[in-house]
Structure 1
Amino acid sequence: MARIEFFTYTSDRRWGARIDGADLRVHAADAVRPRWEEEQRPEEPAEVEEFLFRQYAGLAEADLGDPVAHFLGEAAGPGPGDGSTAVLGCDCGLWQCWPLLTRITAAPGAVVWAGFRQPHRPAWGELALGPFAFPRPAYERALGSPVHFAEDPFTGPM
């Protein structure tokens, strides 16, 4: 099973996650890279890499309502209302602009994130990301006590 760490950052308490020690934004960049390169045919690979690692940001706590319910897939927080949940939002601050969605299934023994997708690119389909299964007791402990940073802790692999 995978290991998750939740964290918040900045004064508006943006929520982010690390899976097996890597920021979810790194996992997302790796998953969308081939799709983005097919679509954009970049002339400047370094610019594409910068975009890939900076396209997402954490979700502001004010948008989540109850973060615990949100990340257990129970709340009507950011998401399209189709059973998927936003786990990252756009770096512009509006999660709807460029969200990373997944289905969160919480069972007694595990919480699973599966079916990641970018809703503004339906042709991409399900991304090659996950599924991630987390032991529910550890998941709930991590969710109940996120580490807080004054600034975004993500530095990316740049």
Structure 2
Amino acid sequence: MQRIEFFNYPVSEQQPDLLWGIRIDGTDLRVHAADATRELWRQESAERSPAEEERFLLLQHDGLPDWGIADAGRHFLGAPAPDFADSATGSTPVLGCSCGVWSCWPLRTVITVTPETVTWSSFRQPFRKEWGELPMGPYVFDRPAYETALAEPVRFAEDPLVVPAGTPR
């Protein structure tokens, strides 16, 4: 089974609203998404330097807005608010767009909950249907540990994602 960590961090120094971030086995979910989409982007993107490409990949997503523990609990246990639900795919967004509008470029997954486990599978980018299911997961978490991590998110003073040196966030 994988290990999950939920965390909160401010949007920016000027905007203290919090976002929800996620680490799986110690790695930021945005890094997993970057790895899963790297070759797909190369097939459709203009040439970029290696540093520009890595920055683009890492910053294509951001965390989701902070709704409070109760609403986040429902969301990350596969029962999102109607604005976040996709009834056609049964998926839930776990990352939003770095522009600040979560629905602009969400990373969606199917969250399946049993008494013992929580599983994230079938990751997709809804605005790139041709990409199909992304090569991520499935990630299976121990439900009690998952719920504890969700109820006690780590709070950071700034976004903990490290971008390539010399590239401003």
TM-score range, shorter chain: over 0.9
Counterpart for residue 4 of structure 2: 4
Q: Deviations over 1:10-30 (max 9, x none)?
A: 132200100000000000000
Are 1:67 and 2:101 an aligned pair?
A: no
Q: Deviations over 1:65-112 (max 9, x none)?
A: 700000000122524333100000001110111000000001111000
Instruction: Please give the TM-score of this superposition, normalised by the length of structure 2.
Output: 0.87
Instruction: Please give the TM-score of this superposition, normalised by the length of structure 1.
Output: 0.93
| Alignment gaps of 5+ in structure 2 | 11-15
Q: Deviations over 1:24-69 (max 9, x none)?
A: 0000000000111111152433212110011110001149970000
Aligned residues: percent identity?
56
Counterpart for residue 112 of structure 2: 105
* Match among 143, 146, 150 for residue 153 of structure 2: 146
Q: Is the 8 A contact 1:64 1:78 kept in 2?
A: no
Q: Is the 8 A contact 1:78 1:95 kept in 2?
A: no
Q: What RMSD over aligned residues (CA atoms) do the two structures have, in Å?
A: 1.8
Count of aligned positions: 158
Aligned-partner residue type, residue 148 of structure 1: R
Trace 1:76-87 onto structure 2 (pairs within 5 A).
Answer: 76=81, 78-82=84-88, 83-87=90-94
Aligned-pair CA distance for 1:149: 1.3
In the aligned structure 1, how far is the partner of 2:153 from the partner of 2:69? 15
Counterpart for residue 100 of structure 2: 93
In the aligned structure 1, how far is the partner of 2:86 from the partner of 2:164? 31
In the aligned structure 1, how far is the partner of 2:69 from the partner of 2:102? 10
In the aligned structure 2, how far is the partner of 1:37 from the partner of 1:80? 28
Q: Is the 8 A contact 2:54 2:164 kept in 1?
A: no
| Alignment gaps of 5+ in structure 1 | none
